[in-house]
Structure 1
Amino acid sequence: MTWIWDLEKLDESQEDLISFADDQGINLIYLHVSQKGFDKEKVQSFIKKAAEEDIKVYALGGDPYWALSKNQDSLENFVGNVKDYNRHVSQDERFQGIHLDIEPYLLSEWKNNQEDVITQWLDNMTYLKKQAKSNADLKISGDFPFWIYKVKIPGKESNVGEWMISKLDSITIMAYRDSAEGKNGIKSISSPLIEQAANHNKSVVIGVNMVKTDEGSHTTFYDTHPNEMNQELHQLENYFAGHPGFGGIAVHDYRSWKSNIKKRTYE
């Protein structure tokens, strides 16, 4: 699995992109859909080519402000655009799901009134699910930090991570570390949510990072040789193999992933 943030600005052909996905064993792509509109013919062509290789495509959208009630219209507009697109294309050209990257903890409101933001966020997710599932067969997933299970729901004993697992079809956790092992490794920080998912007969996708970041070298595989990353991810897959709560691994993002492989090829 991987994220594609701007299909229209990618240099390579769609055939090359699909070929890369096939080589890397990618079976699901989160494809960003801009609120300002997108090239429908290009998206149609891409999804159709992906479908020929048994690769599913989810419409990716995100904005921290989508967690606030006052921006529910924007959230509804995103879902409406995806559903409207799907209505006007053939079945093998349709998005099969919606993938959200909201991250409300980036808002100043999160620091000032976290409980209120959480309440609004959950209400908006409930609203989105109702809109997405109405007269449509769209899966719903989203990106969440690995620590989301530590965030309590106001007035309840349960936590936001488990709530998201129970309400969505799947979640992807941003377990952004560059080592599978260790107390702060990917296995350790992913396990709590994977266990919770299993309890709800759901699955968690473990997301790892390949993008250059100023959050510390330990949060990304950016400076790591692809072979070393593959070894770490292979350990991860072996560890969780057969676990009912494990839904696979996603690499963020496609552009950085391919660039890393390309620049290391002749080293």
Structure 2
Amino acid sequence: MRKMKRIAKQYKIPAILLGVIIVIGVAVMSESHPKTKATWIWDLSKIEGDPSQPVSFLEEEGVNRVYLHIDFETFKPGPYRSFIKEATKADIDVYALGGDPNWALLKNRDSLDRFASIVHDYNNMVGEDEAFKGVHLDIEPYLLSEWKEDSDNVKNQWMMNSVHFIRQVKEKANLAVSGDFPFWIHKEKVPYKDQTLSDWMMEHYDSLTLMAYRNKAEGPNGIQSISEPIVNEARKNGKTVVVGVNIIDTSEGSYTTFHGDAPGAMNEELDVLQNAYKRHDGYEGIAIHDYSHWVDQAK
């Protein structure tokens, strides 16, 4: 912006014309780049040592949000402070990432509380440029045996724990709270109510990250097809959805991951997705799962 004003002054461009140029430039940029481009970092060894290296990769790839895992057993502030400070310089927001299917159950609320306390205590002891900007949950309770036995009961507990956790985080630090959800969550109903579970989650979380794990943007089983119902639902609710894709080596089928695909294949498909959603208010951006496999495949 400042550079454009200097150019306008140098070449005597009228203020009104300059405004038109700026508006057009912003519009073009907003159409060609997602608002959010995120990734998960589960393997903390990837950020230890010199944090400028991973941050450089993230910056080159246009990432502006990182979900950084916190391990209760090994948590030490040092590596987090160094990485987040370097990420802040690159305008990358870092969210504290925590995940456990058992966090959906009321009997495990103490563990969920502990996660919230670690984030709160950490943020209180560091500078603003070293602090987490949000919290990201990866709970996935449908992986529990209890889900098969009584999914409504698990849903109720999951919802109660979500409300409890979000209230805690908002009261103590007012951080953004987002979470990972399966692409089919709109097919699940809130127990005893005519409301989709995805609609309920949107009412409470600031943003949903949808695990739309496919390696083709288009087609009946493509990324857009399986994500569109919830992206549309988000627009109706005035919320947004980050569409996540996979790049890890998985046994769930080659169609669920970009692992092993030709160089540039993932970016090509994500460009197609971005073009399809570029004017969609319910679409916030994309997320790549995960950083470790992404950087290894890029070598």
* TM-score, length of structure 2 as denominator length: 0.86
Cα deviation, residue 168, structure 1? 0.5
CA distance in 1, matches of 2:48, 2:72: 22
What is the Cα deviation at residue 11 of structure 1? 7.2
1:42 aligns with 2:89: no
Query: Which residue in 1 is equivalent to 2:69?
Result: 32
Measured in 1, the distance between the counterparts of 2:154 and 2:135 equals 22
- Give the letter for the 2:253 counterpart: G
2:92 is equivalent to residue 93 of structure 1:
no
Counterparts in 2 of 1:243 and 1:9: CA distance versus 1, 3 Å: closer
1:245 aligns with 2:291: no
Q: Identity percentage over the alignment?
A: 50
Q: In 2, Cα distance between the equivalents of 1:41 and 1:225? A: 37
Larger Rg: 2
Task: Name which of 177, 186, 192 aligns with 2:229.
Answer: 192
Looking at structure 2, the residues matched to 206 and 107 of structure 1 have their Cα atoms a distance apart, in angstroms, of 24
Deviation at 1:38, TM superposition (A): 1.4
Tell me the number of residue pairs that the alignment of Structure 1 and Structure 2 aligns. 262
Q: CA RMSD in A?
A: 1.1
Matches within 5 A, 1:150-161: 150-161=187-198
**2:161 matched to 1:115?**
no
- Counterpart code for 1:155: Y
TM-score scaled by length of structure 1: 0.96
User: How many Å apart are 1:50 and its aligned residue?
Assistant: 0.4
Higher relative contact order (CA 8 A, sep 6+): 2
- TM-fit CA distance, 1:114: 0.6
Any conservation in 2 of the 1:149–1:160 contact (CA below 8 Å)? yes
Is contact 1:96–1:137 with CA below 8 Å preserved after alignment? no
Which letter maps to 2:281?
P
Q: Which runs of structure 1 show a deviation greater than 2 angstroms over 4 or more consecutive aligned residues?
A: 8-13
**Equivalent of 1:205 in 229, 242, 253:** 242
Q: Give CA-to-partner distance per residue, 1:9-47, whole Å, 9 cap, x none.
A: 557731110000000000000000012241201101110
Residue 61 (structure 1) aligned with residue 98 (structure 2): yes
Rounded Cα–Cα distance in structure 2 between residues aligned with 1:189 and 1:197: 14
Q: Please say which of residues 36-45 and 166-175 is displaced more in the overlay.
A: 36-45
Unaligned runs of 5+ in 2: 1-37
State how far apart, in whole Å, the 1-side matches of 2:166 and 2:226 are: 27
Please state whether the residue corresponding to 1:193 is helix, strand or coil: helix
1:222 match: 259
Q: Distance in 2 between matches of 1:72 and 1:212?
A: 32
Distance 1:76 1:11, change over 3 A: closer
2:41 aligned with 1:4:
yes
Q: 1:10 to 1:42 in 2, by over 3 A?
A: closer
* Corresponding residue SS for 2:184: helix
- TM superposition shift of 1:226: 3.2
Structure 2 residue identity aligned to 1:124: N
SS at match of 1:46: helix
Q: Judging changes above 3 Å, is the alpha-carbon distance between structure 1 residues 46 and 72 closer, same or farther for their aligned structure 2 residues?
A: same
Contact 2:112 2:165 in 1 (8 A): yes
Matched, 1:136 2:147: no
